[in-house]
Amino acid sequence: MRTLDLRPHHLVLWAAFIALMLLMPLMVGNGTLRTMIFACYLAMFAISWDILSGRTGYLSFGHPFLIGIGAYTTGILTRRYGIPVEASIPIAVLVTMAGGLIILLPALRIKGSYFALVTLAVMELMLQLVPVIRPDLTGGTRGISRLPALTRGAENGYYLAAGLMLAVALFAWLLMRTRLGTALWAIGMNEESVRGSGLSTTRLKSFAFLVSAGIAGLAGAFYAHYLGSITPRSFFDINILFQIIVAVLIGGAGTIIGPIIGAFFMVFLLEWLRPYMPGTERFFVYGSIALVLYMYQPKGIMAIVDTIVSKMKGSRA
Amino acid sequence: MTLALEVRNLVKKFGGLTATNDLSFDLAKGESLGLIGPNGAGKTTVFSQIMGELRQTSGTIKLYGEEISKLTTAERIAKGVSRTYQVPRPFAELSVRENIRVGLMPDSLRAMIFGAPDRSREAELAQSIGFAPKDLDKTASELAMGDLRKLEFARTLATGAKLLLLDEVFAGLTSGEIGMIAELIQDLRQRGFTFLMVSHDLPAMEPLVDRAIAIERGTMLANGSFADVLGDKSVRASYLGES
C-alpha cells in the first residue's frame, strides 16, 4: 500500500465505479449496452495510448497498427489454424508486443513530431501491406469474417467488455501510481532532467511502450471477436486514431481515468447525434467540442473535475 | 591526494569548430573549482562531456580514478557525479516532493514498481536544502527562481553524487537568493562535497572556490588561485576586455 500511496477515498471511488458498471444492465436497455460495449473498447484503446503518449509525451500515431496486430493475430489463428481463443488471445498479446517492439521501438529514439510521423507511416504501411501480403491468411481487402464469438447477447458482451476495461484500467492506474508512473510523467515534462537524475529513459520508454502495446493487442483481439470480422479499413484507419486521441484529450491525458470518461463521452455524443446527423458531419461536431474543450481546459474533463473538487474542499474549510 | 576528477587532453569538435581544445585539469576530493570564461568559451560543453551528454572527440575523463568515457549518463551518475543546468529544468507539474523522488529513484524498473518511495528521505533532503514542510506539496511551477535552483540542488543531491557540477548557479537570482544558495554551497563543502562550478557572478563565486581555471574557445588560459587567475593578463584581456 505504501508503494501506491492508496487512500480510503481511492478505494471508495473505485468500488463505486465498479458497482456502477456492473449494475448498468439493470438500468439501461440493450441498445445502450451495445453503445457502451464500443465505449469500453475505445476506453481500452485510449488507456493504451495514454500510458505511452499521455505520460511520456511521445505522440503515437501508430496505435491502430498495434490494435490491428492483436486483431489479425487472433483472427488468423482461430480461423486459419483452428486454434482456440483461449490460446489465440494470449498469443495475440505477445505478438503485438513483439511486433510493436521490432517495428516501432527504434522510433522511440526519435523525438517530437518525427516519432509521431514514423508511427503514422507504419500504420499507413500496414493498411497498404495487409491486403497484398499473404491474402490467403489475412483475407486481403475483404479481411476475415466469422470469427468465433466469445459471448452471446448484449448483456454478456457488455459484462465481458466492461470487466476487461475495469481490469485494464485498474492495472494501469495502479502501475502509474508507482514510482515508475512518476518517472514516465517526468519524461513527458523534461526527458533530459530524468536522464540527468540517473535514470535510463530508453528503458523506461521501452517498458511504457511494451505495456501500451500489450493492452492494445489485448483490446484489439477481444474487439475483433466481438465484431466477428476484421478488415484492414476497420483497424488500420486514421479515424480510429483520431477517436483514440480525442477521447484522451477530452478526458485528460496522463490520468488513465480521463481517457475512460473521454471515450464514453465521445461514443455517446456520436450516438445521440446520429438521428440528427446520420452522415460523417457528426464528426465535425465532436471535433468542435474537443477543440473548444481543449482551448478552455487543455488538461481535459479530469482537470475540470479536480478544480471543482478543490473549490468544494476550499469552501468547506 | 585523492582525485575526484581527472580531465586529460579533452577535445570536442563540432565539424570545423573546436569547442574544447586539449583541455586538462584535476579536481581533488573535497575541493571546489571555479571554471570561468566569456560567453561561448565552452564551459557548458565541458560539463556535458563530463556527464556523457556529449561524447568527446578525444581525451580521457576519470572519475575517482576510473575512466568513464564509455559510460552512459546514468552510469556516471551512479558513480557519483551529477550536474545542475544554467536554466533550472524542473518537472513543472510534479510537486517538490515528487521532483526529489525522481532523483532518489534507483535505475531499476523492478525497484521502481515494487519499492515504496522513501518519504522521510524526500522530506529530509527538501528541508536540508531550505524548503519548509509546507512547500513539499507545492508544484514546481509555483516556485520562484531561487526555489527552483534549490529544487535542482535537492534533486542533484538525491542522486547520491558527491561531485556536483553547478552551471551558472547564480543566474537569474536576486541578491537575497544568491546569499541563500552561497550558504547552501558552503554547507555542502563542509560536508565534504566536491564542486566544479561555472558562474559569471565572480564576486559571489570567489568565496566558494579553492581555485579557478579560465578557458576561452575551449583552450585553457590560466589555472591557479582565484586571484591569480583573475589577475592573469590573458584572462583579463579575453574575459574582462582589458588590453
Cβ within 8 Å, pair B91-A183: no
Nearest to residue B211, comparing CAs of B44, B61, B25, B2? B25
Q: Is pLDDT of A1 > 60?
A: no
Q: Does residue A300 lie in a domain region?
A: no
Cell of A245: 486521441
Q: Is pLDDT of A126 > 70?
A: yes
CATH topology (fold) of B3-239: Rossmann fold (3.40.50)
Minimum CA–CA partner of B157 in chain A: A197
Cβ within 8 Å, pair B90-A190: yes
Residue with cell 548557479: B169
Q: How far apart are the CA of B180 and the nearest CA of chain A, in angstroms?
A: 23
Residues A76-91, mean pLDDT to the nearest whole number:
96
β-strand partners of A144:
A230
What is the structure's pLDDT at B243? 62
What is the structure's pLDDT at A163? 97
* Lateral strand order in the sheet of B66-67: B17-28, B3-14, B58-63, B66-67
ipTM surpasses cut 0.95:
no
What is the structure's pLDDT at B237? 83
Minimum CA–CA partner of A207 in chain B: B109
Pairing, β B163-167 against β B58-63: unpaired
Q: What is the pLDDT of residues B212-238, one digit of tens each?
A: 999 999 899 999 999 999 888 888 887
- Confidence band, pLDDT 50/70/90 cuts, at residue A8: confident
Cβ within 8 Å, pair A180-B94: no
Cell of B12: 570536442
A209 is in which domain, residue-wise?
34-236
Q: Does residue A267 lie in a domain region?
A: no
Which amino acid is it at A82?
Answer: G
Of B94, B109, B116, the CB nearest to A182: B94
Residues B157-169, mean pLDDT to the nearest whole number:
93
What is the structure's pLDDT at A285? 81
Minimum CA–CA partner of B108 in chain A: A199
Minimum CA–CA partner of B97 in chain A: A182
Cβ within 8 Å, pair B102-A203: no
Residues B100-105, mean pLDDT to the nearest whole number:
95
Residues B2-19, mean pLDDT to the nearest whole number:
93
Q: How far apart are the CA of B73 and the nearest CA of chain A, in angstroms?
A: 7
Cβ within 8 Å, pair B74-A200: yes
Higher pLDDT, B77 or B169: B77
Of B91, B103, B113, the CB nearest to A190: B91
Chain A residues with beta carbon closer than 8 angstroms to that of B105: 179, 182-183, 197-199
Cell of A35: 453503445
Q: Is pLDDT of A315 > 80?
A: no
Q: What is the pTM of this model?
A: 0.88
Q: What is the pLDDT of residues B18-37, one digit of tens each?
A: 999 999 999 999 999 999 98
Q: What is the pLDDT of residues A151-175, one digit of tens each?
A: 999 999 999 999 999 999 999 999 9
Which residue, among A174, A179, A194, would best test binding to B if mutated, counting the most B CBs under 10 Å from its CB?
A179
Which residue, among B54, B109, B122, B137, would best test binding to A if mutated, counting the most A CBs under 10 Å from its CB?
B109
SS (H, E, C) chain A: CCCCCCCHHHHHHHHHHHHHHHHHHHHCCHHHHHHHHHHHHHHHHHHHHHHHHHHHCCCCCCHHHHHHHHHHHHHHHHHHCCCCHHHHHHHHHHHHHHHHHHHHHHHHHCCHHHHHHHHHHHHHHHHHHCCCCCHHHHCHHHCECCCCCCCCCHHHHHHHHHHHHHHHHHHHHHHHCCHHHHHHHHHHHCHHHHHCCCCCHHHHHHHHHHHHHHHHHHHHHHHHHHHCCECHHHHCCHHHHHHHHHHHHHHCCCCCHHHHHHHHHHHHHHHHHCCCCCCCCHHHHHHHHHHHHHHHCCCHHHHHHHHHHHHHHHHHC
Is there a contact between B48 and B54 (Cβ–Cβ < 8 Å)?
yes
Which residue, among B63, B82, B105, B165, would best test binding to A if mutated, counting the most A CBs under 10 Å from its CB?
B105
Residue with cell 584581456: B237
The count of CB pairs under 8 A between chains A and B is 91
Q: Does residue A43 lie in a domain region?
A: yes
Provide the b/e sequence for B126-165 (b: ≥16 CB within 10 Å). Answer: beebbbeeebbebebeebeebbbbbbbbbbbbbbebbbbb
Residues A287-304, mean pLDDT to the nearest whole number:
83
Chain B residues with beta carbon closer than 8 angstroms to that of A197: 77, 102-103, 105, 155, 158-159
For B139, list phi and psi in degrees, rounded to 5: -80, 155
Which residue, among A6, A199, A200, would best test binding to B if mutated, counting the most B CBs under 10 Å from its CB?
A199
Cβ within 8 Å, pair A183-B85: no
Q: Does residue A266 lie in a domain region?
A: no
Q: Is pLDDT of A34 > 90?
A: yes
Is there a contact between A260 and A169 (Cβ–Cβ < 8 Å)?
yes
Mean pLDDT, chain B, rounded, equals 92
Q: What is the pLDDT of residues A245-282, one digit of tens each?
A: 999 988 998 888 899 999 999 899 888 888 888 877 87
Domain map (residue ranges) of chain B: 3-239
Minimum CA–CA partner of B84 in chain A: A196
Q: Which residues of A touch B (CB under 8 A)?
A: 2-3, 5, 175, 178-180, 182-183, 185-186, 189-190, 192-200, 203-204, 207
Cell of A261: 470518461
Mean pLDDT, chain A, rounded, equals 89
Q: Does residue A172 lie in a domain region?
A: yes
What is the structure's pLDDT at A3? 66
Residues B7-11, mean pLDDT to the nearest whole number:
95
Cβ within 8 Å, pair B155-A197: yes
Chain A residues with beta carbon closer than 8 angstroms to that of B114: 3, 178
What is the structure's pLDDT at A317? 61
Tell me what percent of the residues of chain B surpass a pLDDT of 90.
Answer: 74
Residues A94-117, mean pLDDT to the nearest whole number:
81
Cβ within 8 Å, pair B112-A198: no
Q: Is pLDDT of A300 > 90?
A: no
Q: How far apart are the CA of A222 and the nearest CA of chain B, in angstroms?
A: 28
